[in-house]
Amino acid sequence: MMLLIFAVLVAALALAWFDRERLAIAALILCLVLSAGLFLWEVYSPKYGFAMPWITVERTLLPLAAEG
């Protein structure tokens, strides 16, 4: 999938080089859409859904010391 994204990006650069701006922009948008789709596919987990538990930060409350 990354190879496809890279190929679309190279095509966008080549089209821009040959003054085909509309096709270059369309290829660039396609590259961004494919990249977002790949990111969502990589992040999805049947257990957590689209959550990213490895970056979830939780604050634990420490018990208060008994005064005495």
Q: Where are the domains of the chain?
A: 2-45
pLDDT beyond 60 at 28: yes
Structure confidence at residue 67 (pLDDT):
62
pTM value > 0.95 = no
Average of per-residue pLDDT across 14-30: 97
Average of per-residue pLDDT across 3-29: 96
Structure confidence at residue 4 (pLDDT):
95
pLDDT beyond 60 at 68: no
CA angle 37, 43, 46 (to 5 degrees): 110
Structure confidence at residue 24 (pLDDT):
97
Task: Compute the CA torsion angle 57, 36, 47, 53 (nearest 10 deg).
Answer: -10
